[in-house]
Amino acid sequence: MKQRTRLLIAFCTIIVVPIVLVWIAFSSFRHLQMKELQENYGIDVSDYTYLMNTVQLLNRYTEESFEGLLELADENPECLEDVEYLKTVDAALADKNSYLLVRKDEDIYFLGGDRNYTIPEYLPEYTGTVERSMHGIYVDCADHALMKQVDFLFSDGAKGSAFIISNARKMIPEMKNLIIDMFVSVILILIFTASMLALWIYSGMINPIRKLQIATKNIMEDRLDFTIEAESNDEIGELCRNFEEMRKRLQEYSEERLTNERQNRELISNISHDLKTPLTAVRGYVEGIIDGVADTPEKMDHYIKTIYNKTNEMTRLVNELTLYSQINTNRIPYNFNKINVADYFNDCVEDLSLELQEKDVRLQYMNYVADDVMIIADPEQLGRVINNIVGNTLKYLDARQGSIHMRIKDVGDFIQVEIEDNGRGIEAKDLPYIFDRFYRADASRNSATGGSGIGLSIVKKIIEDHGGKIWATSKPGIGTIMYFVIRKYQVVEAAM
């Protein structure tokens, strides 16, 4: 049985069964309490709605006392002047949460009941008529009083009124017992129903949950070489299958983590190797200067320039390692600005031309973009993209006369940058992976030429963070073209 069906049955049961049992209990208790009311107070309560309405019940409750006062007011009103008799009537009312109050003209002639009772602020006026109605007057005072009035005349001709005042806020004992019995019954019924349903649901879930507990413990202990088999097609079975899928992904993640750790070790080894070479050269040239080998101004100038270039190379490697760490934590510092395309790439090409000229590499630059085209970019990081691509090109530029062509084109909402070289190219099988971290198309040649193996992955990350895209085409023996696009800056006019 599916857990959904099981829960649906449980839901229906937990609604229907308590309602039926509560109704049976209420009917039984109501019958008993009505019987007690009739036996104890002589009240013939045939309608159970009286149990829900304290005012109506109290109205019936004092019926006998009210009829007695009416009879006295009609036949023997002088009895209502006898304080001792009034005390007797008040004592009979005490057990009914009621008391007697007699008014003579505007003064209180007799006040019965508990002295803590407060006299209602409103007492109906003397009417002079004897009403035989059983309906009292509800007064919203501090004690929420229900009053029944009987008017009569004192022997000296003064106007008198006798009031039976019932406290509508208090419940009769039988009502309290009914409420307590119902409350206890509801609690017991709910506990019984919930316990039975919990036991039924639990019995269908215990075995797979135990399996999941064992699997969770294995994962906590980093043991992922196990399987979880789902024995049913219900939701618990689906959970087991999902847990098994999660285990497989965790296992893949663990293997990927080990791969990344290996790649990080490889990166450190590569950069250590790359730093060692310029450091050795710097040390050798510094020792040459100390030993006096650079004994002419020309040699001294050559030594100093070489030391300067080698330190720049070491700085680039350290910056690359720092940027790689920032990429791993998604914390590359960007400072986006509005940049004029023509001005920016003109300056960029001017800086590149000096370096390429020293390495006897020809640079051709063509800009097909209008002078007013702007982009939003980080100038420093975009310059890193250009330098990384050109630096990677120079490593594999085997041609006798190396050349690099840079073209800037307008392609609709984007500007497209193309950097083409006449190097040895990239094999088709390696081309889709050149932007992956640590990927080496030719491990032996990469070891010889140096490099950390993360330059193009950094380029891809920066371009994607600019909302652009990068790709490459290549023909072995002819050369490679690197493409990347960046969205142009456009002013969006607000709708009128």
208-242 per-position pLDDT tens digit: 777 788 888 888 877 877 777 766 677 777 788 88
Task: Return the number of other C-beta atoms located less than 10 Å from residue 18's C-beta.
Answer: 16
**35 within some domain:** yes
Query: Looking at residues 100-121, what average pLDDT do you find?
Result: 78
* pLDDT tens-digit readout, 45-80: 555 555 555 556 666 777 777 888 888 888 888 888
Cβ atoms of residues 341 and 409 within 8 Å: no
CA 381 to each of CA 34, 320, 464, 465: distance values in angstroms, whole numbers, following the listed order? 89, 12, 12, 10
**What pLDDT is recorded for position 398?**
67
Length of the chain: 496
Contacts of 123 (CB under 8 A, 6+ apart): 101, 103, 147, 161, 163
Q: What is the mean pLDDT of the chain?
A: 78
Q: How confident is the model at residue 133 (pLDDT cuts 50, 70, 90)?
A: very low
**308 within some domain:** yes
Cα 177 from chain centre? 47
Cβ atoms of residues 480 and 464 within 8 Å: no
Q: 460 with 357, same domain?
A: yes
Q: 350 with 323, same domain?
A: no
Last residue of a domain, one of 278, 311, 331: 331
Cβ atoms of residues 386 and 482 within 8 Å: no
Residue 496 has pLDDT above 50, yes or no: no
Cβ atoms of residues 34 and 229 within 8 Å: no
> Measured between alpha carbons, how far is 221 from 389 in angstroms, rounded to an integer?
45
- Cβ-based burial of 263 (10 A; exposed 0-12, middle 13-18, buried ≥19): middle
pTM of the model: 0.47
Query: Looking at residues 100-116, what average pLDDT do you find?
Result: 81
Task: Return the number of other C-beta atoms located less than 10 Å from residue 314's C-beta.
Answer: 18
The encoded tokens of residue 309 equal 């270039």
Last residue of a domain, one of 331, 360, 381: 331
The encoded tokens of residue 458 equal 């950094």
Residue 437 has pLDDT above 50, yes or no: yes
The single-letter code of the amino acid at 45 is: V
**216 within some domain:** no
Query: Looking at residues 246-265, what average pLDDT do you find?
Result: 80
**393 within some domain:** yes
Q: Please give the backbone phi and psi of residue 146, each rounded to the nearest 5 degrees, phi first.
A: -110, 115
Query: Looking at residues 289-293, what average pLDDT do you find?
Result: 85
Q: 143 with 39, same domain?
A: no
Q: 406 with 455, same domain?
A: yes
Q: 343 with 455, same domain?
A: yes
Residue 316 has pLDDT above 90, yes or no: no
Q: 401 with 475, same domain?
A: yes
**What pLDDT is recorded for position 174?**
55
Query: Looking at residues 390-403, what average pLDDT do you find?
Result: 79
Cβ atoms of residues 340 and 295 within 8 Å: no
Alpha-helical regions (H) of 359-441: 379-395
CATH of the domain at 457: 3.30.565.10
E strands, 125-245, in order: 137-139, 145-153, 159-167
Q: 155 with 109, same domain?
A: yes
Residue 330 has pLDDT above 80, yes or no: no
Q: 404 with 469, same domain?
A: yes
**What pLDDT is recorded for position 457?**
84
Q: 20 with 126, same domain?
A: no
**70 within some domain:** no
Cβ atoms of residues 332 and 326 within 8 Å: yes
Query: Looking at residues 355-368, what average pLDDT do you find?
Result: 88
Q: 372 with 296, same domain?
A: no
The encoded tokens of residue 330 equal 């998604």
The encoded tokens of residue 450 equal 């140096």
Task: Return the number of other C-beta atoms located less than 10 Å from residue 140's C-beta.
Answer: 11
- Cβ-based burial of 280 (10 A; exposed 0-12, middle 13-18, buried ≥19): exposed
Which residues sit opposite 419 in a β-bridge? 406, 482
Q: 41 with 183, same domain?
A: yes
Q: 300 with 356, same domain?
A: no
**What pLDDT is recorded for position 492?**
60
**Domain of residue 286, residue span:** 225-331
Query: Looking at residues 23-30, what average pLDDT do you find?
Result: 75
The encoded tokens of residue 385 equal 């993209």
**246 within some domain:** yes
**What pLDDT is recorded for position 447?**
42
Residue 445 has pLDDT above 60, yes or no: no
Beta strands at 414-421 and 402-411: parallel, antiparallel or unpaired: antiparallel
Residue 275 has pLDDT above 80, yes or no: no
**66 within some domain:** no
**Higher per-residue confidence, 136 vs 146:** 146
Beta strands at 361-367 and 402-411: parallel, antiparallel or unpaired: parallel
Percent of the chain with pLDDT over 70: 75
**306 within some domain:** yes
**Higher per-residue confidence, 167 vs 40:** 167
CA 112 to each of CA 58, 162, 222: distance values in angstroms, whole numbers, following the listed order? 18, 11, 83
Query: Looking at residues 114-132, what average pLDDT do you find?
Result: 68
Q: HSE-up of 347 (CA within 13 Å, CB side)?
A: 9
Contacts of 318 (CB under 8 A, 6+ apart): 275
Task: Return the number of other C-beta atoms located less than 10 Å from residue 164's C-beta.
Answer: 27
Q: How confident is the model at residue 444 (pLDDT cuts 50, 70, 90)?
A: very low
> How many independent structural domains does the chain possess?
4
Percent of the chain with pLDDT over 90: 15
